[in-house]
C-alpha cells in the first residue's frame, strides 16, 4: 500500500519544519501482507501489483512509517507467526481425538478450564469464528509428565502425515532468516562459575507456563484448532506439538537474556528456564531484577 495523499498531508502538518517534510519519503510502498505476518517472501522487499501497476513494496511497519517516519521491522508485535509457509491446507473436519485425551476426560476438562482462565484458548464455539479464514482442527492428546499423576496436553499437528501443519513449517528458516537453534551446555555454565569464582551463588528461574505464555500471531491461530465434546477451541498461544514452538520459545527467552546483558548481568537460557551465577551478595538483586523484567513483559502483553 502507498502512504496515501490524505495521510501524507496529515503527517506533514505535524512537522512544520520544511527539512523534516523534505526528508519524509513520499514514495515508500509497504507490503500489506507483511503487516499481517502473511508475506512469506524471504526478502526485504519485492514487486507487487497494486491498482494494475507493479510496485516495489518493502517489509516495514506501516504504522511506524506513517507516525514516526521510521522504517522499522517488528512483525511479532501482536504475537509470533508459527512459520507455516505451505499455502492453503484442506480443512480437517472434527478428527477423532487420541486415547490420551479420550481416556482422561476429567483431566482434559480441568485443562480447558485453566487455559480459558488464562485466556490462552478461545472457546467453546459451535462454528468457525473466522470470517475470512478456514479453521483447521487437529486431534487432541495427552502424555504422562515426569511428575506423578500429571499429564501434558499435546495438539497433534503432524496429523495427517501427508497434509499437516508441521510439514509446512521449515525448521531451518523462520521469517526469512536462518534458524540456528542451540542450547547452552554444561561447559557454558562452568565458565560462568569460573568467572565469578569461589563462594558464588547459583539460581534458576523459569517461565511459569513456558510455551503457553507466548502468544501466536492472530493471523495464524486458525491453524491450531481442536474440538472437545462437540465444541471448538482455538489456541492463542504456542501449542505443545507445534514444530516451531521450541525455536520461538528460545527466541523469546534469548531476548530476555539480551536485555539482562545490557544491564551488566550474564544469564543462560534453556527454553523457558534461566540460570545465573552471581556473587552471593548480589544474587537476590539479580533474581528480583529478572522477575521484574518478566513481569513487565506480562504487563505489556508480550507474555500471557
Cα dist from 246 to 63, 94, 172, 270, whole Å:
30, 27, 13, 10
pLDDT at 89: 66
The 8-class DSSP code of residue 272 comes to T
The residue that leads in pLDDT, 259 or 199, is 259
pLDDT at 63: 63
pLDDT of 33 strictly over 60: yes
Look at residue 204 and give its three-state secondary structure: strand
Global confidence as pTM: 0.72
pLDDT at 36: 60
Look at residue 297 and give its three-state secondary structure: helix
What does the domain layout of the chain look like in residue ranges?
5-68, 99-299
pLDDT at 228: 95
pLDDT at 268: 93
- C-alpha span between 111 and 226 (Å, rounded): 13
Question: pLDDT averaged over the chain?
Answer: 81
Grid cell of 299 as nine digits: 504487563
pLDDT of 3 strictly over 60: no
Reported as a pLDDT band with limits 50, 70 and 90, residue 124 is very high
User: Is-contact 280 200, C-beta < 8 A?
Assistant: yes
pLDDT of 8 strictly over 60: no
Lowest mean pLDDT among 87-96, 134-143, 251-260: 87-96
pLDDT at 138: 93
For 107, phi and psi rounded to 5 degrees? -65, -40
Return the closest-CA partner of residue 302 out of 248, 232, 252: 252
Rounded mean pLDDT of 193-208? 86
Amino acid at each position: 500500500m502507498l502512504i496515501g495523499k490524505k495521510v501524507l498531508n496529515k503527517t506533514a502538518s505535524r512537522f512544520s519544519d520544511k527539512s523534516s517534510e523534505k526528508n519524509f519519503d513520499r514514495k515508500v510502498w509497504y507490503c500489506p501482507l507483511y503487516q499481517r505476518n502473511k508475506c512469506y517472501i524471504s526478502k526485504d522487499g519485492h514487486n507487487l501489483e497494486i491498482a494494475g501497476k507493479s510496485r516495489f513494496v518493502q517489509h516495514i511497519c506501516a504504522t511506524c512509517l506513517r507516525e514516526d517516519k521510521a522504517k522499522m521491522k517488528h512483525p511479532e508485535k501482536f504475537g509470533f507467526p508459527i512459520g507455516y509457509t505451505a499455502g492453503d491446507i484442506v480443512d480437517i473436519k472434527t478428527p477423532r481425538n487420541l486415547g490420551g485425551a479420550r481416556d482422561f476426560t476429567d483431566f482434559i476438562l480441568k485443562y480447558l478450564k485453566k487455559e480459558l482462565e488464562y485466556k490462552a484458548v478461545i472457546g467453546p464455539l459451535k462454528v468457525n469464528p473466522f470470517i475470512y479464514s478456514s479453521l483447521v482442527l487437529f486431534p487432541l492428546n495427552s502424555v504422562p509428565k515426569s511428575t506423578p499423576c500429571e499429564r501434558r496436553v499435546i495438539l497433534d499437528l503432524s496429523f495427517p502425515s501427508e497434509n499437516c501443519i508441521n510439514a509446512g513449517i521449515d525448521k531451518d528458516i523462520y521469517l526469512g532468516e536462518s534458524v540456528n537453534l542451540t542450547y547452552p551446555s554444561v561447559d557454558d555454565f562452568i565458565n560462568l562459575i569460573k568467572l565469578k569464582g569461589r563462594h558464588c551463588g547459583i539460581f534458576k528461574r523459569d517461565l511459569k507456563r513456558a510455551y503457553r505464555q507466548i502468544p501466536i500471531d492472530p493471523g495464524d491461530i486458525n491453524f491450531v484448532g481442536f474440538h472437545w465434546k462437540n465444541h471448538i477451541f482455538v489456541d492463542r498461544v504456542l501449542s505443545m506439538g507445534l514444530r516451531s514452538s521450541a525455536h520461538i520459545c528460545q527466541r523469546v527467552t534469548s531476548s530476555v537474556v539480551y536485555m539482562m546483558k545490557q544491564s551488566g548481568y550474564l544469564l543462560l537460557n534453556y527454553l523457558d528456564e534461566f540460570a545465573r551465577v552471581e556473587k552471593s551478595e548480589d544474587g537476590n538483586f539479580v533474581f528480583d531484577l529478572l522477575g521484574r523484567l518478566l513481569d513487565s513483559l506480562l504487563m505489556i502483553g508480550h507474555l500471557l
